[in-house]
Structure 1
Amino acid sequence: MRSLKEFLDQKVEQYNQPDFIPNDPISIPHRFSKKEDIEISGFFAAILAWGQRKTIINKCLELFQLMDHAPHDFLLNHQESDLSSFLSFKHRTFNDIDTLYFIHFLTWFYRNNESLEEAFLKGQTNQADAMESILTQFHQVFFSLEDAPNRTKKHIATPARKAACKRINMYLRWMVRSDDSGVDFGLWKRISPSQLICPCDLHVDRVGRKLGLITRKQTDWLTALELTQKLREFDPLDPVKYDFALFGLGIEEKYG
């Protein structure tokens, strides 16, 4: 019988392929070539990534059409009057208030920084277990503007609330992981792939439990840490590559 590592390695190779892109929210940042556009569109795509993947992709396309498909340029150069068109944008519980604050923060940030990576480096300790600090500090930075709506805070998860932080961990996988498959971008170099935490979504959680990689009953930050620690036993330098295997098994093969 093949070992679990061999099985998962084969599934990584199967699903970490360019044909994974079109039906996944990662297809949104792949529509752009400018680094800042990839960062911004990827951030929105990850944060809006709940529900059916087709719906997520369509909502993201709707959002970036409002930015003339040039999000970085829009953030830097829009007028106050340009924001009225976003009042009708909504995806599930993400509404116009949330959209306008995201635009407000990203506008402020990109007018003062070259890359959104900077916002994630406030908590960087260069230790293997730095991600809790990185995500906690990012949440604080993101909501540091004085008019941050309290309701919007639920859309950026934080380990401080024990959340599994699925969407933000997925975004970091996109930005940080680098290999020859062409799916993840590998744009950011000051966070190590070894520091990443596996995005613990419904499919990954189910398959992880089926394979004995998760024993914790609930799904929270400690669950994501438990799963990632197991995956580090298979590949300590790039544990989150196994997200492809677990997600693919769950959504494509209905495993578990």
Structure 2
Amino acid sequence: MKLSEIKQLLDNEFKARNSILELCYEKPDPLFIAQRYQDESIALICALFAYGNAHQIIRFLESLEFDLLDESEERIRKRLASHYYRFQKSEDVIAIFIALKRLRDRESLENIFYQGYQKENNLLDGLWALIQAIRASYPHESYGYNFLVGKTPEKRSAAGTYKRYLMYLRWMVRKDSLDMGLWSKVAKKDLLMPLDTHSFTVSRKIGLLQRKSCDMKASIELTERLRTFDPNDPIKYDFALYRLGQEKLL
């Protein structure tokens, strides 16, 4: 496909998908749950558990009592003692709730992110600051928790996709019929493409992406290509690319 044809395809898909009707039980997406609460901490929990079967993600998120983020740590431990999801045991679910409770009691996630981001308007610096703050607020080590929360890479060039975090940042920074736009300090032009299997495969198939590895370098490459379509809002095409792959429309 020519670049002009790709742009037309994605522009059409963006317009068609930019509707709250895209978020429903028939088309499960973790944003469907996050939208109900309009809260940065709840949205982050929804994003971090966004892996695996979409219907199972929704069922798990609906089983959580998000008001526990404003309750005592003792109550969090008691109420979440039987909750688990795939790689995460109950102690991992408890850990992320307590970590975010402690952070929200003293600082917003946006301000924590901004402390890293503001130096060079670099999204990854903000992301590393956020991950480090989460891990420091409630030190906990396990395979499930490390998978859920992630760690900062020793070298930026060795970073994975951080797909769930980049998706979360899209929700927080962009504002339209889907994304919530709860943050005001980060520019949407600086967002990076959240790459999952669907968006990676579709992007390679239509010629937007040459890199064969689904990693941060691929995310940056795809973002740069999408900036030629819309330099001020390149990630607006994320949901369209995802749905094109998920619904097997190409």
- Normalised to the residue count of structure 2, the TM-score between the two structures is 0.89
Once the 2 structures are TM-superposed, how far is the Cα of residue 41 of structure 1 from its aligned partner?
2.1
Percent identity over the alignment? 31
* Correspondence 1:1-256 to 2 at 5 A: 3-22=5-24, 23-32=28-37, 35=38, 38-64=39-65, 67=66, 71=67, 74-78=68-72, 80-113=74-107, 115-125=108-118, 127=120, 130-145=122-137, 147-151=139-143, 152-157=145-150, 160=153, 162-179=159-176, 182-255=177-250
Gap regions ≥5 residues in structure 2: none
Letter in 1 for 2:205: K
Change (3 A) 1:147 1:14: same
C-alpha separation between the residues in 2 aligned to 1:183 and 1:110?
24
C-alpha separation between the residues in 2 aligned to 1:241 and 1:126?
25
C-alpha separation between the residues in 1 aligned to 2:175 and 2:32?
16
1:170-190 per-residue CA deviation (whole Å, 9 max, x = no partner) reads 1111111013xx211111010
C-alpha separation between the residues in 2 aligned to 1:75 and 1:81?
10
> 2:73·2:98 contact (CA, 8 Å) conserved in 1?
no
C-alpha separation between the residues in 2 aligned to 1:211 and 1:82?
46
SS in 2 for 1:87: coil
1:79-100 per-residue CA deviation (whole Å, 9 max, x = no partner) reads 5145223121111102212111
C-alpha separation between the residues in 1 aligned to 2:137 and 2:105?
14
1:40-93 per-residue CA deviation (whole Å, 9 max, x = no partner) reads 2211111111112111011000012xx4xxx2xx32333514522312111110
> 2:102·2:137 contact (CA, 8 Å) conserved in 1?
no
- The Cα RMSD (Å) is 1.9
> 1:101·1:149 contact (CA, 8 Å) conserved in 2?
no
